[in-house]
Amino acid sequence: MSTTPASAETPTEDRSTVRALLRLWPYVRPVRARLATAACVAILASCLGLVIPLVLKWMVDGPVADRDPAGVWLGALYLLLLGLAEALLFGLRRWLVARPLSAVEAGMRADLYRHLQRLPVAFHDRWASGQLLSRGTTDLMLLRMFLAFPLTFLLVNGVTILVGVGIMLVQDWTLGLVILGPAIPLMIVCGIFEKKYARVARRAQDQVGDLTTVVEESVLGIRIIKGFGRHRSQARAFHELSHTLRGTELRKARLLAAIWAVIVALPEVAIGAALVVGAVQVADGSLSAGTLVAFLSTALALRWPVESIGFLLAMSQEAATATDRYFEVMDAPAEEPGPSAPASPRAAARGDGLRFESVGFRYPDAPPGSPPLLDRVDLHIRSGESMALVGATGSGKTTLTALVPRLHEVTSGRITLDGEDITALSREELRSMVAVAFEEPTLFSATVGENVLMGAGDGAGEKELGRALAVAQAGFAHDLPQGTGTQVGEQGLSLSGGQRQRLALARAVVGGPRFLVLDDPLSALDVHTEAAVEAALRQVLADTTALIVAHRPSTVLLADRVALLSGGRVTAVGTHQELLRTSAEYAHLMSGTDGHDGHGSRPVLREDREGEGR
């Protein structure tokens, strides 16, 4: 099953290989002088190889015919010097391209990574991570290989063939025409091969991305796989994708074998025919033996440039496909940074808090005609107030909170912070004002301290870190082997779910944000830890404006007021006690499995929050 978005698949029938590869020019331009020098050196080296047959002609018609051993030794010295010069020039070419092409690859990889960071969340929702990884690794490696070898040698071999054919025509035009006989059939075959290989190359590179996705998911989900004993089914899924990729690679190999057979066979037939015709001409005295030797030596010297056409075209097609795949990501529109300065003074609006004004939202990939997930949401969270957001599974609570830091863009209406439309702020400025903590916490392969301080400014240090860990009741961090300098490992899976959630909460509060958005931040905590966190969190909430997604009364009671989200709209706002009396839906959501009205020590929602949608 492909994990590449359909919109990203480029129809190879309409694609121009040259046009695709020309998109690499901005990256190649800074090193163009060195690449051009390397190409000239390679052309010179290749043309030196064509001088060798001329030396042979001189030796056969001169010293050999005249029985002059000294002349033969002199010719041998010329051949040795030409061979050494050719080898040194090819070595120089390799040295010239190695460093600049490594820089090109590194620059492209850095641009890709930087662009991925700026792409909206909706893009990452559509794309499998394995597809993005394969573009940043396998595809860029193919492009470096293309720039290092096929790009140069398509030019070098083309010039070599033209020069070689010119030499042969000058020596004997009739034999030259014999050698040129297969040219037209070869061009037709190469054109057909190029189109077929382009389709297969694209399919193979997409399948590499699918396989990368499966491997990555299996590694990150190894606990689930082992816990449910699903290693065999995962192995089958991997084997199926691997088998599919193998079949595609074999298809590529068959195409390459076919073109190689044609490219090798036709010139060999032409050389054989030229040998017969030339031998006849030597026998009747119309051609010298040295000329025939030089002609055939030149023809044999051109075998490699001609035979290499097949795999050079194949590598060029793979590079063109890799270029298409790279720019499919680079062409995706990034988030606009927003204005660098506020459109209007904010001082007068300070204290207005967080407002949702007729906010509507639907996902870009939602089916046409489907109702919006959020529809005319109106909500005002006063400055310094905490608002709990409650609703049934899939009601859009998480999506509504994601609109505040502009992880998604509102479809209609607007959101304001202290009277300022969030679209009038740069994203950097907006996200410095708003801190978020998600229900599913994400930690990075870094130390505990580095993970927490990601939520603070550059000047934050141990003091802020200690305060944030105390609020989140994450004192366990000090007891780790290296304290807050302990590496937590990929995804933080070396920690428990509750520990990860507390560190994510600490990251949200460490910077003392003006606005705080929490998506059920205490769901993984035990009763006693939750009570301790709530007590410390109340002090933080007293100094900020907060929107808290809540699934149980213990979290709701952290807030000053509660908003009920139902049918994509806010249908009720009030205190916890008011909504228990006036809203049957709210009372139902807050009721525990034992039928209590929500005043118990730890009642939970009936809904399975694992099914929480966007």
Torsion of CA 75, 81, 82, 86, to 10 degrees: 160
Residue-wise pLDDT tens digits, 401-426:
989 998 888 999 999 998 899 988 88
Tell me: pLDDT of 379 over 90: yes
Residue-wise pLDDT tens digits, 342-360:
444 444 345 688 999 999 9
- Domains of the chain are 6-330 (1.20.1560.10), 351-443+514-611 (3.40.50.300)
CB 409 within 8 A of CB 333: no
Answer whether 0.75 is exceeded by the pTM.
no
Average model confidence (pLDDT) across the chain: 81
CB 518 within 8 A of CB 555: no
- Other C-beta atoms closer than 10 Å to the C-beta of 243 total 10
Residue-wise pLDDT tens digits, 252-303:
888 888 887 888 888 888 888 888 888 888 888 888 888 888 888 888 888 8
Q: If you search the block for the tokens 């006849």, which residue do you land on?
A: 280
Residue-wise pLDDT tens digits, 57-84:
788 777 777 777 887 888 788 888 888 9
pLDDT category of residue 327 using cuts at 50, 70 and 90: very high
**For the residues 111-117, what does the mean pLDDT come to?**
90
pLDDT category of residue 592 using cuts at 50, 70 and 90: low
Tokens of 181: 């006989």
User: What is the C-alpha separation between 551 and 530, in angstroms, rounded?
Assistant: 14
Residue-wise pLDDT tens digits, 537-573:
888 888 889 999 988 788 888 889 999 999 889 999 9
Strand pairing partners for 391?
565
- The DSSP element (H or E) to which 579 belongs, if any, is helix 576-582
Q: What separation in angstroms does the CA of 301 have from each of 52, 265, 282, 310, 430? A: 9, 16, 21, 17, 66
Residue-wise pLDDT tens digits, 215-252:
877 776 776 677 767 777 778 888 888 889 899 989 88
Residue-wise pLDDT tens digits, 503-537:
888 888 888 888 999 888 777 677 777 788 888 88
State residue 345's pLDDT score.
41
State residue 42's pLDDT score.
86
**For the residues 113-122, what does the mean pLDDT come to?**
87
User: What is the C-alpha separation between 401 and 395, in angstroms, rounded?
Assistant: 12
